Amino acid sequence: MARDDMFDIVAIGGGTAGLVTAAGSAGLGARVALIERERLGGDCLWTGCVPSKALISSARVAHHFRSAGAHGLRAVRPEVEGADVLASVRDVRAQIEPHDDPERFRAMGVDVVEGAARFVSPREIEVNGRRLHARRFVIATGSRAAVPPIPGLEEAGYFTHAEAFDRATIPSSLAVVGGGPIGVELAQAFRRLGSEVTVVELLDRLMVREEPELADLLASRLRDEGIEIRTGRIVTGVERLGDRRRVTIAPPAGATGHDGGGATETLDVDEVLVAAGRAPNTEDLGLDAAGVETSNGWVTVDAKLRTSRKHIFAAGDVIGGFLFTHVADHEARTVVQNALFPVRANIDYSVIPWCTYTEPELAHVGLTEAEARDRHGAAVSAHVYDIANLDRAITERAATGRVKIVVGKGGRILGGHILAPNAGTMIAEISLAMKAGVKLGTLASLVHPYPTMSEGVKRTADAYRRSTLTGWRKSAVDLALRVGRALPP
């Protein structure tokens, strides 16, 4: 008879990686326990993907009211009641919450254990005095917002994305510390909902992981909407002034700065939003007792997602790398195979798309042009199509954006970058082509519905095909044209 405390697999953490591990393993007939110290759903449901996209949707509607003149309609300045907007966001979250309800997982056969888990040995974990044993463990405890050690910040008060959606109001003015995806998404959303917003970024441009020309186009769009951007700046201090905050920013030591010159500057704002990176949730897990190695707090894994203890796996944000919900799902699926079956697979990160959900959206897969040239040299070429020329973009009055596809020898796609409405959906076509080894020239022959935004990918492929008509290929085309003209009608 099986022991009540013995499992095939125990997942620690009820975010995406833990949920997918638990559901996938239980579906295959394994005996599974899932441990969560707070509430199932993790960052994605409660403080990340779900509420942020709901807030962005509300902000988009408000912006479209104000922009109705471009559509031949009378522009309207909507009355934005922050409490109502944020209540609507929480209502959306509540509608999705049942997908991650503990009872749903218990119905699958998962033993859902509420409480903080701690390893007491490599093969034993304790939760609220209960000890669980397993053939395999999966660490899936995720990450949280990192807070830089800015003088006065703690005393003055701030919020991160974790608190953004449970607020009572939209701030009248806001300093956003960090110009990455979270900072940029929330900066645009709060601006559209009425906040005066300044983004402060240490590096010399926003969105430094993205193709520079597309990131610069997005920054220009944000400025057009009234967002102040200070790049090449560091926050040197924050102080409380009654109900407000004074934020002091300056160039980093030895730098001249990028936006706003080289002088120290102060920003008087109502609130400070910190969006300056992530930190792993590995404290108090007893990883030393388990013999699990970490690097700066992040759990280290091999290509099969095994930790330094081969029976203990890790997946999701806690291992660093690609901190995205869809990557956590991908990693968990690999863990299920490797933890339960003798035939194991390496995790495949060769084609990982992502998207920043500004308007327009900024999507990315593979290498930037600079990265591709560093790796592949002179064989690399980049092909660009401006969506200002795309019929669907023109009809939508949304003609700011660009498609850029980077290719190597023979037209092999090395990377794709899209700034456009629905870029997060459009990037899937390029991702599939990369995964399947389909070359860019082949995408030019794919029939797309008209008029759609995805035609932007096809037009970029057309540009690539035209670029290949040189040398003997051009001579062959010229010869074929001459022969065609000589034939009788």
Spell 119-144 as b/e; 16+ CB within 10 A means b.
Answer: beeebbbbbeeeebebebbbbbbbbb
| Residue 240 located in a structural domain | yes
Lookup: tokens for 272: 């400070």
Local confidence band at 487 (pLDDT 50, 70, 90 cut-offs): confident
Rounded to the nearest integer, the mean pLDDT of the chain is 94
pLDDT at position 258: 52
**Residue 193: pLDDT above 60?**
yes
> How many Å is the Cα radius of gyration of the chain?
25
Q: Say if 452 falls within a structural domain.
A: yes
One domain, residues 141 and 12: yes
At 439-464, the pLDDT tens digits run 999 999 999 999 999 999 999 999 99
pLDDT tens figures, 385-412: 999 999 999 999 998 999 999 999 999 9
pLDDT tens digits, 257-286: 455 557 899 999 999 999 999 999 999 999
User: Are 181 and 112 contained in the same domain?
Assistant: no
427 pLDDT more than 80? yes
pLDDT tens, residue by residue, 203-216? 999 999 999 999 99
Could you read off the pLDDT of 152-172 as tens digits, one per residue? 999 999 999 999 999 999 999
pLDDT tens column, 298-313:
999 999 999 999 999 9
- Of 294, 318, 340, the residue that ends a domain is 340
pLDDT of residue 469: 75
Q: What is the pLDDT of residue 488?
A: 82
Q: Tell me whether residue 407 is in a domain.
A: yes
Are residue 259 and residue 228 in the same domain, yes or no? yes
The 10 Å CB-count burial string (b at 16+, else e) for 16-38 is bbbbbbbbbbbeeebbbbbbbbe
Is 460 contained in some domain? yes
> Is 295 in a helix, a strand, or coil?
strand
Q: Which among 189, 203, 196 is positioned nearest to 161, based on CA atoms? A: 189
Structure-block tokens of residue 83: 């409490």
User: pLDDT (tens digit, 9 = 90+) per residue, 49-81?
Assistant: 999 999 999 999 999 999 999 999 999 999 999
The answer to whether 351 touches 367, Cβ cutoff 8 Å, is no
According to the model, what pLDDT value does residue 256 have?
52
**Which structural domain range is residue 253 located in?**
153-276
- Write out the H or E segment, with its range, that includes residue 96: helix 82-96
Mean pLDDT of 346-365: 97
Both tokens assigned to 257: 């700065």
Percent of the chain with pLDDT over 90: 91
Q: Same domain for 266 and 286? A: no
**Residue 464, in any domain of the structure:** yes
pLDDT of residue 257: 45
CATH number of the domain residue 425 falls in? 3.30.390.30
Over residues 481-486, mean pLDDT: 76
Same domain, residue pair 215 and 159: yes
Residue 482 resides in a domain: no
Please determine, for residue 426, whether its predicted confidence score (pLDDT) is greater than 60.
Answer: yes
CA distance linking residue 465 with residue 461, whole number of Å: 6
Do 314 and 424 share a domain, yes or no?
no
Q: Compute the distance between CA of residue 398 and CA of residue 394 in angstroms, rounded to an integer.
A: 6
**Domain total in the chain:** 3
3-state secondary structure of 377: helix
What is the rounded average pLDDT of the residues 87-104? Answer: 96
Q: Which long-range contacts (CB under 8 A, 24 or more apart) does 239-248 make?
A: 239/152, 239/155, 239/156, 240/152, 240/155, 240/156, 240/157, 241/268, 243/270, 244/268, 244/269, 244/270, 245/156, 245/157, 245/175, 245/269, 245/270, 245/271, 245/272, 247/175, 247/200, 247/272
User: Does the pLDDT at position 477 exceed 70?
Assistant: no
Residue 249 lies inside a defined structural domain of this protein: yes
In DSSP terms, 199 is beta-bridged to 176, 229
Domain co-membership, 135 together with 242 = no
Give yes or no for a contact between 227 and 273, defined as CB atoms under 8 angstroms apart: no
DSSP state of 252: P
- Has residue 474 got a pLDDT over 90? no
C-alpha count within 13 angstroms, C-beta hemisphere, residue 80: 25
CATH code, domain with 35: 3.50.50.60
Q: How many residues would you count in the chain?
A: 489
Q: Are residues 10 and 140 in the same domain?
A: yes
pLDDT in tens, 245-255: 999 999 987 66
Q: Using the 3D structure, point to which of 309, 340, 371 is the last residue of a domain.
A: 340
Q: Could you tell me if 251 and 240 lie in one domain?
A: yes
130 and 255 inside one domain: no
- Residue 73 forms part of a structural domain: no
**DSSP three-state, residue 144:** strand
Q: Are 200 and 272 found together in one domain? A: yes
Query: Residues 328, 459: one domain?
Result: no
User: What local confidence, expressed as pLDDT, does residue 259 receive?
Assistant: 55
Return the closest-CA partner of residue 354 out of 327, 319, 386: 327
| Dihedral pair phi/psi, residue 301, rounded to 5° | -135, 160
